[in-house]
Amino acid sequence: MTTMKFSHRVIFVGASLFISVTLYLFLNVQTLQDNRHVPRRKLMETHLWPLRDSNSPVIQPVSDCAFGTSYHVSANITTQSIFNSINFRTSYDGSYPLPTVETRPPLTRKDKIAAPLRVVVVPHSHNDPGWIKTLDEYYIDQTQHILNNMVERLTKYPNMTFVWSETVFLSIWWNSLEDHVRLQVRRLVRKGQLEIVLGGWVVPDEASTHYFSLIEQIIEGHQWILENLNVKPVNSWSIDSFGYSSTVSYLWKQTGLQNMVIQRVHGSVKGYLAAKKSLEFRWRQFWDQSGTTDIMCHVMPYALYTIKYTCGPDRFMCLMFDFRHIPGEVNEAKGKTIDDTNIESQATYLYEQYRKKSSLYKYGTVLVPLGDDFRFNKPQEWQQQHDNYMKLFEYMNSRKDWNIDVGFGTLTDYFDALRVAEGRASKTKSGGFPVLSGDFFPYSDRDNTYWSGYYSSRPFGKRLSREVENNLRSAEILTTFANIYSKQLGYRFDNHHVYLASLQQARRSLALFQHHDAITGTSKEYVAGDYMRKLAVAYNHTHEAIAGAMQMLLTKGTVSVSENKLLPAETKTMFLRFPQRKHIHVSEEGTDVVFFNPVGQTRKEIVHLQVDSDTVEVRDENDMPVPCQLNPIWVATIRISEVNFEIVFPVELAPLGLVVYKLTRLSEEPAKLYPAGILMYNTLDFVLPSTSRLIEYRPDIGSEIVLQNEHLKATFSQKTGYLQSVVNKTSGLRTETKLEFLQYKSRGSGAYIFYPEGKARTFEELPFIIRVIKGPIMSSVEVAHQQYLRHLVKLYSGFTVQSMGLHIENEIFLFKMADVEVIMRVKTDLGKRSNFFTDQNGYQFIARKTHAKLPIQGNYYPMTSACFLEDPSRRVTLHSGQALGVASLKNGEMEAMIDRMLIYDDDRGLGEGLQDNKPTRLYFVLQVEYSESERTPSLLKYYSYPSLISSTMNDLLQNPVQAFYATPNMQFGIRKLELLKEPFPCDITLVNLRNLMTSLMTENGTAVILHRRGFDCSFPASGLTCALSHGELALNSILSEIHLKQVRKMSLSYMYELKKIRTGRLQLSPMEIASFHVQW
């Protein structure tokens, strides 16, 4: 148990006085406003928080702020400028045209003396780990045969090559292999015949994935490959993800990958790049002025990655070079066996296609993927493609007048050839690649058809992914510390290996779900169910590990964790339900509740628990009573539970801190329990049970509903219950934030495509029943729609980051509707000078211009964790607890699509609509900020940074406090435990801290992954107590509890050691995400 430091005590006393006065006034005003017949209401005469922090981070304007104030872009192409300049014209058939090429490329004298045209044909097979079938079904029906045939055929055909990208399939297959086959696979890899490309656990979606999971899945894949195949991938291969994020290009660069191949880029953007011979570029991060983040990227030029679209511009011609012929199988392939009679004509056709394709690129190199989904599953196909292509290659290479060098190869072969060719050109000063910054969203493959629907498809899964992320991260951190304490201090940690194994399983299930048909919501309904089942298991396994590690740490291993005595306050009982809050039984002897703060900074927060008593006393770790508000639990629209209640109270948590509070059932109402007041609008039928301690007030009809705390005052419409405005109480400045729910009617929408019939229209008819809760610790406005939606806005008291935003929960259930897409829109008064930014993968913010030349669906962008509107002095941020599609269709407005119910298929191969809607609970925080200093006009920016408060608020939303309660016979001796001796600086996010392990579960040190944020200094940072890093971090003092032997900086996925850090002091550049290996 720890005692309070002297300095804290001093501030404690001063602050208590201040806050008690504030709350007293606040309540009095409220009470008078709210009703005419004032019942006796208990006033809170105590402090909410031990202290008010005024010690904001010490910001050094020059060193800390310079980075976040320069919005210079060093690239010569930005994707936003491409969108600004192109007209999005399509051909007569709806396709996007590429620059025309000569119908028959005559070789000029120059061509003939130039280096030969280098054509690398890359056989591949695209294996989705779940889409039309589940992962296991694909493996059994197709993938195992593809891989088995691969080993046999590549051995037989030494000139043939193959590339493979999905490690999840390799790992399943590997377990079935005999040793000699494994040796053979390793030999093929060593020889360069088989290349592992990307090597992630899956090929992830890039719109909805948070960078935490992107990093987890690439580590999982790369470590597996390194261990089992002893190879480090250098090229990435992502031919089917529906748009590409610049965050992913950054992460891949950080892992050591050198080149990327991408395919699903907007057709008009491809046309633009092709016209400038810029389909190959160095992809650079916006903020990078020196090129350290550059990674080579090749964009495939045509519509798809299948053989039909890869040999050259003529689809029908390309089909003549697909030689797959399986008796009884119907397919598009038109290849006829090559023999002496047709070799000349066929080789000429193919040669022409290659030449035409090469005209889109700069250096006389052509990459020709040869494959399709689940191809090369039959031995015949291997033989057919090999034999016919080898004849064609031989013939073409023998035609000296064609000046061509063609053969099978891998991506390494292609990029080596490209670099040689570019190097040759550099000698004549025509070398060099363009530099591009930006991303490739939204993706469109046909006229007006935008793949922007999937950003919001199946939000239930998108939210669950975030919940598993949070649980997994907490579980990794806690089990790692429990493991270290057990080894270094001798505490018993019985189930350690069970937890390590179940966490590996959870990590792999989460990694699997990042696949581009999983988190995207674009698989068959039953496949989506399979993913949900796997995630639900992961969710529960991570809870078990958290509980076990908490118990071990708080008992120093004296109570065996084989009998789990801690249970989560929120559980997932059924895999298709969102987590439910448990009604915790509070006993007279007292029930211990353990809270864990998974972020690396100190945290003060108001938490919610559901209990079975309305006479609960809450005591903190020092046995001091804590003020606690009693709220109702609604069992029907206008009926509250008489046996279960919500309690709300403040907790203070150290960075990665554990704290134990005690709940006790008293025989009478505890002194510090404050029953909330209830106000019902648009109904006269509500009856407060006679036994209830809660208080009912009659609403004041005719005025706005007002919620307020120390920071802000929010007004809501009495008619709709929706937010209208937010007033900053310090400055008195008001920002309009009119919230509404609307729906789009579908014209051609499906799982992938958003294609609405005109503008959004009203969602539901008025009036709605509005439930308002008011109390000293939190207040809320809740709109209970009849069937489809429950909308709740909470405002917390106190001087904390939590209390600076409005916390929104939407429960949506569209099951009974048909062909609708529902949005939540916020209309502000930011007006014409405002601009819109969306985050990418929770890592960075990109400016998004809304183009009148594009339809609504073409102006939708993915949001992973936040988006904001800003004008020269204000910023309105919508933080999001799940990935969704967002847009700003008018100046000052932003909207998020929160669910979609679609009857029809959208013709992208899925063959069904989206009709399996689940009741889904979505989380947001709305924040209004006012700048303190001059700012770059947002209209000039391509990218942006959050303020420190904003990034902290987002971290808190993504990583909620973990709450576990103890079973009746369990009480904890240790009431407070700080796993870190110092907090991480404000601008450094602890991305993860976890055990590194081999597949055979041998431990291999600890991974610490850190992200140094870029931030905008022009917004106030008061309320934060942490310091800034100024680019340096003393890991040894933060982790001083652990006896550290060695710290090494590694590449992101732990494939390469970058440097040994002898002092324990780490350096991080702004925006850098870096991995460290800690040996202890």
What positions carry a catalytic annotation? 240
Q: Are strands 235-238 and 259-262 parallel, antiparallel or unpaired?
A: parallel
CB of 255 to Zn ion, least distance (A): 21
Query: CA–CA separation, 684 vs 975, rounded Å?
Result: 47
The least distance separating Zn ion from the CB of residue 905, rounded to whole angstroms, comes to 17
Q: Least distance from C-beta 241 to Zn ion, angstroms?
A: 8
CA distance 185 to 162: 12
- In degrees to the nearest 10, what's the CA dihedral of 1023, 1025, 1028, 1034? -160
Is the separation of the CB atoms in 578 and 921 below 8 Å? yes
Distances 559 to 425, 489, 556, 964 between C-alpha atoms, Å = 70, 16, 8, 16
* Residue from 365, 411, 408, 368 nearest 388 by CA: 408
Nearer to Zn ion, 64 or 240 (CB): 240
- In the chain, the amino acid numbered 421 is A
Q: Collect all residues with Cβ–Cβ distance below 8 Å to 1074 and sequence separation of at least 6.
A: 254, 1009, 1010, 1049, 1052, 1066, 1068
The number of residues making up the chain comes to: 1080
Of the pair 128, 216, the CB lying nearest Zn ion is at 128
* Cβ-proximal residues to 1080 (8 Å cutoff; 6+ apart), any chain: 484, 487, 488, 1005, 1006, 1042, 1043, 1044, 1045
Task: Please tell me the distance from the alpha carbon of residue 203 to that of residue 242, in angstroms, as a whole number.
Answer: 11
633 CB-side CA count, 13 A: 20
Which is closer to Zn ion, CB of 128 or CB of 530? 128
Do the Cβ atoms of 49 and 652 come closer than 8 Å?
A: yes
Q: How far is the CB of 161 from Zn ion (least distance, A)?
A: 21
Which token pair is 996?
């590194």
Q: Phi then psi for 493, rounded to 5 degrees?
A: -135, 80
Of 1018-1037, binders to Zn ion (CB under 5 A) are: none
Q: How far apart are CA 856 and CA 274, in angstroms?
A: 26
CB nearer to Zn ion: give 909 or 973: 909
CB nearer to Zn ion: give 588 or 907.
907
Could you give the string, one character per residue 166-205, with x where binding to Zn ion holds by CB under 5 A and - elsewhere? ----------------------------------------
* Residue 339, token pair as written in the block: 């023999």
Q: Which residues contact 25 (CB under 8 A, 6 or more apart)?
A: none
Taking the least distance from each CB to Zn ion, the nearer of 520 and 601 is: 520
239 or 781: whose CB is closer to Zn ion?
A: 239
Shortest Å distance, C-beta 517 to Zn ion: 6
Closer residue to Zn ion in complex, CB, 239/338: 239
Task: Provide the minimum distance between the beta carbon of 126 and Zn ion in the complex, in angstroms, as a whole number.
Answer: 6
Distance CA 499, CA 472 (A): 11
Nearer to Zn ion, 451 or 595 (CB): 451
875-914 binders of Zn ion (CB under 5 A): none
Q: Does 646 bind Zn ion (CB under 5 A)?
A: no
Residue 870, Cβ density class (10 Å: 0-12 exposed, 13-18 middle, ≥19 buried):
buried
DSSP 315: H
Whether 918 and 576 have beta carbons less than 8 Å apart is answered as yes
What residues between 107 and 136 interact with Zn ion by CB under 5 A?
A: 128
CA distance 708 to 715: 9
Q: Please tell me the count of residues contacting Zn ion according to CB under 5 A.
A: 2
Q: CB of 516: closest distance to Zn ion in angstroms?
A: 5
Q: Which residue lies nearer to Zn ion by CB, 263 or 864?
A: 263
CB of 517 or CB of 871, closer to Zn ion: 517
**Contact 200/260 with Cβ under 8 angstroms?**
no
Least distance between Zn ion and beta carbon 147 (Å): 17
Beta pairing, strands 580-581 & 920-930: unpaired
Binding characters for Zn ion, 219-248, by CB under 5 A (x = yes): ---------------------x--------
Contact 163, 415 (CB under 8 A): no
Distance CA 892, CA 888 (A): 7
The residue number whose beta carbon is nearest to Zn ion equals: 240
CB-CB contact of 944 with 847 (8 Å): yes
Task: Encode 923-933: b = buried (16+ Cβ within 10 Å), e = exposed.
Answer: bbbbbbbebee
Between 376 and 433, name the residue whose CB sits nearer to Zn ion.
376
In Å, how far are 714, 724, 783 from 727, measured between CA atoms? 6, 10, 21
Under 8 Å between Cβ of 203 and 237: yes
Quick one: 56 exposed, middle or buried, by C-beta within 10 A (0-12, 13-18, 19+)? middle
Q: Are 127 and 169 in contact (CB under 8 A)?
A: yes
**Pick 516 or 994: Cβ nearer Zn ion:** 516
* Cα dihedral 790→796→802→808 (10° resolution): 10
Backbone angles phi, psi at 674, to 5 degrees: -120, 100
Contact residues for Zn ion, defined by CB under 5 A: 128, 240
